[in-house]
A and B are shown apart, each in its own frame.
Chain A
Amino acid sequence: MNAIAVRAATKTYGQVTALDAVDVEIAPGEFVGIVGRSGSGKTTLLNILAGIDRPTSGEVVVAGTAVQQLSESDLAEWRGRTVGLVFQFFQLLPTLTVLENVLLPMDFAGRIPARARRDRALDLLARFGIDDQAGKFPAMLSGGQQQRAAIARALANDPPVLLADEPTGNLDSATGTAVLELFAELNDEGRTIVVVTHERDIAKYVARQVSLVDGRVAVDR
């Protein structure tokens, strides 16, 4: 079974068609880069995969769930368990510490036993080399550190799918590279990863690139 299946997904905003009958299937454990120019529909596709946006027509199945059929609240719960999201601007909660930011999705999903949550969060932070920042607030961290914290948070509930929207867009090139290497490492463990990016060097890390032009899949290799 595919990890992700997008069938004839179309998304329109008024007169504008952002996605035009897109078909994409992604197998479990694949590391896929979605590339394209500004306005090509990359972010819209990722948002539809994450249940952040709904397709106007078509079907989106992620980890066996038909995403477009879930209510807004069910989507939030599903997202918490099934997909980890990484954003360009990190989107950490400013009034929670780095550790608390990682703990929060575990509290919402309730999948990890309460006793084990703190250790797991610290392990994740240690894995990304920022366990010494655990007690700090996001504003006190560098961009690279914040993005690592965001990735740690995305992995909090050990989701099978990791979705990232321009994760390196707000980082310098060295830090960006480090982040992409981190994704590659996570992919090696068997996690399905989809990254929307402008990064030219993405080919070095991903096995497959889906290139979008005007909301359609132009190249898939």
Chain B
Amino acid sequence: MTRLLLVKLLRDLRSTRARILIMIVAIGISLTAFSAILYTRTIVDREITRSYLATNPASATIRLDGTLDPARLADVRTRPGVTGAALRTQFDARFRTGDSWSEYPLQTFGYAPDDPLRVATFAVERGAWPPPADGILLERLALDVLGVKVGDTITVQPRGGRPATLRITGVVHDPGLAPASNEAKGYGYVSTNALARLGLRPDLNELKITVASQDRATVESVARDVAASLPVRVEQIQVPPPGEHPHQGQMNAILSMVLMFGALSLLLSALLVATMLNSLLSRQIPQIGILKAVGARSGRVVQLYLIMVLLVATAATAVGFPLGILLGRPYSRLLADRMLNMDVASTSVPPGQYALVLATGLLLPVIMALVPLVRAGRVTVRQAIDHDGTPRGKPAQRWLGRLRGLDRGLLLALRNMFRRRGRLILAIGLLAGAGTLFTGALNTLESIRGLVDNATAEHRVNAQLSLGAPAPAGDLTRALAGLPGATRVEAWRAMPVTGHRDGQVDLARTYPDQGHGSFRLAAVPPDTTMLNLPLVDGRWLRPDDVDAIVLNQSQQVNGVKPKVGDTVELSLSGRPVRWRVVGIEREVFALATAYVSPAGLARATGDDRANQVQVRGDRPGIAADAERALVAAGFRVDSAQPSTRYAAVVDGHVYAMIGVVTAIAVVLGLVGFIGLGSTMSTSVLERTREFGVLHAIGVRPRAVRRIVVLEGLFVALASLVVTALPAAVLTAVLRSRLSERFLPLPLRVSWLAIVIWAGAVLLGATLATLAPAYRASRLTVREALAYA
């Protein structure tokens, strides 16, 4: 590289600085997005495991019908495979600060005051542990959800207990649980001293053990072994997925999807660079001819422009690399905090990833530029000096040449479009790529919204009341017969259930929050109008069904997914009952539930009473009114939840995904629009000379502008047609991947995205061509002809 060539290079860069700046911005934005996502994925993936394991989560929870004495507990710790053991208890409660009960339940965990908190532990952030007998500590995210603060006094009523007043004496951080904000519930922490006040037996009826192995089968076998050695009856063993945070799968799905979009947007900006470079080189071709005429070898020419691309790539990397780090850190902290309730201990990333980002930023533009670069370097002096972009008998031109009866301006615009096939393909590819990603992202967003809509439509319940004791269904519905605003009342019975294995204790996959991984059986009237569950296979319950069951499509029983016609054996409080699968439904958000008829449950348990009442009636306060009516009729009510809480749970699980996908769509739209503007304006700039010729032969400026704008519109239309197929494919792939790893998404098309993109492309094409065309139309013939 001679000094003069370097001087030429720098001056060329300066003379095209607007375009160079656009290239730098486009690659810079994409590199920032890609690297920030890459780092976030690495940080969150590492921290989620570290943070979850730091709580030393119980590998298994064994629910007892009673408790153990200290000697027995010590004995458990010596069992083969067991590394730790602790006795705990927990109960569901509701609470209030004023006159009315909060719609958010308060799941409360109880500990012996002298518990060393080595197993399934938490960090006390404010206040002292253990709390006094009238004190309770709350999980830090739960404070916001419940709208309370330290020092407040709340009335807590446990299910099966009595209301008692407790003071919030501190805050704990428990990253082992799904965040309270996602689950729309609170987590409380009390010592066993508080249990008596709450009308509960002070028994610690949950044995939590830790097992060194992370292998599920080993954990289950150790837990069963421990359970078999205990002198009390074991109700159930709960083994959540070992070492896995309850939201791990959801997080992985979000991060892999985002990373895929990040990589695609990077590829898109590389394509943009190739397009812009192609046009830049195209304008440089006559100069390449001169360089060769005065003695420059092809290698030197390629080297010159390679350095130009490298300079652009370096500048973009210099922008994108630090920005990626700057954004990745707070973004991973935000996700960790909001989605996982975790504190990020370290935002460090392996040096290999920094190297990968640097290499991507520096090399991807060069790789994308290689083909046009080498082609430009190979141009002969004659080709270069003759270069005017005129087509030479390409098939499209010949075909267009045969078109008759078309307006001459329209024909000229159509022919112009095909003048440089390579440029046309790049421009259409770029616009179609951006359109595909943009509509793909917004279609996914629509699918997620559809999921929320479906979830709302599936449950036409406005209030759900849980009873303290089972009661005859008829009595319950009669008690609510005159409830103002109620259009329908149904009495249900719900109970936890597990797959049954002969001679073995029931084993569930439930997490300590008793929500994630849990499985319950609900007896509902077959003619229920409270549920509108889409059936994937088979049929819904009939009044005469006694052994029929409808399962969720993702429900496993003893490790297998049952099909219609199968018989499944479920354990109801230790009693095995066989059911015939008659239908498979695809309910999304409710706790995993299997539906049977009241007659069926009566057959299985010998008890046809109900323990839940579902009320429909869209009136504020209907849940509280229903509770008052039931209490007045002599029933005990444990909780009365309006449907708004269900909506809060749904929102809590998808809002992060919606936020992330929206952000992606914005970035992709930005890169796409930069591409659109640069592609269109370049094609006009390149032909300023031609406009001069048109003026010289007497074409009016307005007619020139019309030709140019028409050409831009043709390219835009072609790109829209090309976008359709890949956008459909991307949407389908995203939906299937997310359905597999996150939640089963409905197929939705965002018409808004299509209208926005089509409108933006057509309007963008008009504006991007109109401005330079207007400038060109104002040039004098002499100026235009002198334009190099």
Q: Give the residues from 139 to 167 in chain A that come closer than 8 angstroms, CB to CB, to chain B.
A: 153, 156-157
CB distance from A182 to the nearest CB of B (A): 19
CB distance from B165 to the nearest CB of A (A): 83
For the complex, is A85 an interface residue (Cβ under 8 Å from B)? yes
How many angstroms from the CA of A77 to the CA of B295 in the assembled complex? 5
Residues of B within 8 A of A105 (CB): 294-295
Residues of A within 8 A of B5 (CB): 104, 107
CB distance from B651 to the nearest CB of A (A): 58
For the complex, is A191 an interface residue (Cβ under 8 Å from B)? no
Binary flags per residue of B265-298, CB closer than 8 Å to A gives 1, else 0: 0000000000000000000001101111111111
* Pair B290/A73 contact, Cβ less than 8 Å: no
Residues of B within 8 A of A53 (CB): 380, 382
* Pair A108/B382 contact, Cβ less than 8 Å: no
For the complex, is A100 an interface residue (Cβ under 8 Å from B)? yes
Residues of B within 8 A of A72 (CB): 298, 378, 380
* Pair A52/B15 contact, Cβ less than 8 Å: no
Given contacts A72-B380, A108-B2, contact A93 B385 (CB under 8 A): no
* Pair B297/A77 contact, Cβ less than 8 Å: yes
For the complex, is B7 an interface residue (Cβ under 8 Å from A)? yes
How many angstroms from the CA of A106 to the CA of B388 in the assembled complex? 29
For the complex, is B624 an interface residue (Cβ under 8 Å from A)? no
How many angstroms from the CA of A50 to the CA of B294 in the assembled complex? 11
A interface, how many residues as a size bin? 20 to 34
For the complex, is B71 an interface residue (Cβ under 8 Å from A)? no
For the complex, is A42 an interface residue (Cβ under 8 Å from B)? no
How many angstroms from the CA of A79 to the CA of B382 in the assembled complex? 14
CB distance from B374 to the nearest CB of A (A): 13
* Pair A93/B290 contact, Cβ less than 8 Å: yes
For the complex, is B537 an interface residue (Cβ under 8 Å from A)? no
Which residue of chain B has its CB nearest to the CB of A53? Answer: B382
For the complex, is A36 an interface residue (Cβ under 8 Å from B)? no
Binary flags per residue of B572-594, CB closer than 8 Å to A gives 1, else 0: 00000000000000000000000
* Pair A109/B385 contact, Cβ less than 8 Å: no
For the complex, is A80 an interface residue (Cβ under 8 Å from B)? yes
Binary flags per residue of A100-121, CB closer than 8 Å to B gives 1, else 0: 1001110111000000000000
* Pair A104/B297 contact, Cβ less than 8 Å: no
Residues of A within 8 A of B292 (CB): 76, 79
CB distance from A53 to the nearest CB of B (A): 5
* Pair B300/A95 contact, Cβ less than 8 Å: no
For the complex, is B619 an interface residue (Cβ under 8 Å from A)? no
For the complex, is B632 an interface residue (Cβ under 8 Å from A)? no
Which residue of chain A has its CB nearest to the CB of B299? Answer: A73
Given contacts A52-B380, A91-B385, A95-B15, contact A109 B298 (CB under 8 A): no
For the complex, is A47 an interface residue (Cβ under 8 Å from B)? yes
For the complex, is B603 an interface residue (Cβ under 8 Å from A)? no
Binary flags per residue of B1-44, CB closer than 8 Å to A gives 1, else 0: 01111011001100100000000000000000000000000000
How many angstroms from the CA of A52 to the CA of B386 in the assembled complex? 11
Which residue of chain B has its CB nearest to the CB of A108? Answer: B295
Q: Give the residues from 186 to 201 in chain A that come closer than 8 angstroms, CB to CB, to chain B.
A: none
For the complex, is B495 an interface residue (Cβ under 8 Å from A)? no
Residue of B15, B297, B382, B385 touching A76 (CB-CB under 8 A): B297
For the complex, is B732 an interface residue (Cβ under 8 Å from A)? no
For the complex, is B531 an interface residue (Cβ under 8 Å from A)? no
Residues of B within 8 A of A31 (CB): none
* Pair A96/B7 contact, Cβ less than 8 Å: yes
* Pair B291/A73 contact, Cβ less than 8 Å: no
Q: Give the residues from 379 to 397 in chain B that come closer than 8 angstroms, CB to CB, to chain A.
A: 380-382, 385
Which residue of chain A has its CB nearest to the CB of B378? Answer: A72
Which residue of chain A has its CB nearest to the CB of B392? Answer: A14
Q: Contacts A52-B380, A104-B4 given; 16 further ones with Cβ under 8 A? A: A50-B293, A72-B380, A76-B295, A77-B295, A79-B292, A79-B293, A79-B294, A79-B295, A80-B295, A80-B296, A87-B385, A94-B287, A105-B294, A107-B2, A107-B4, A157-B295
Chain A interface (Cβ < 8 Å from any Cβ of B) = 47, 50-53, 72-74, 76-77, 79-81, 85, 87, 91-96, 100, 103-105, 107-109, 153, 156-157
Q: Pick the 8 closest A-B CB pairs, nearest first.
A: A80-B295, A108-B295, A95-B11, A107-B2, A73-B297, A105-B294, A52-B381, A76-B292
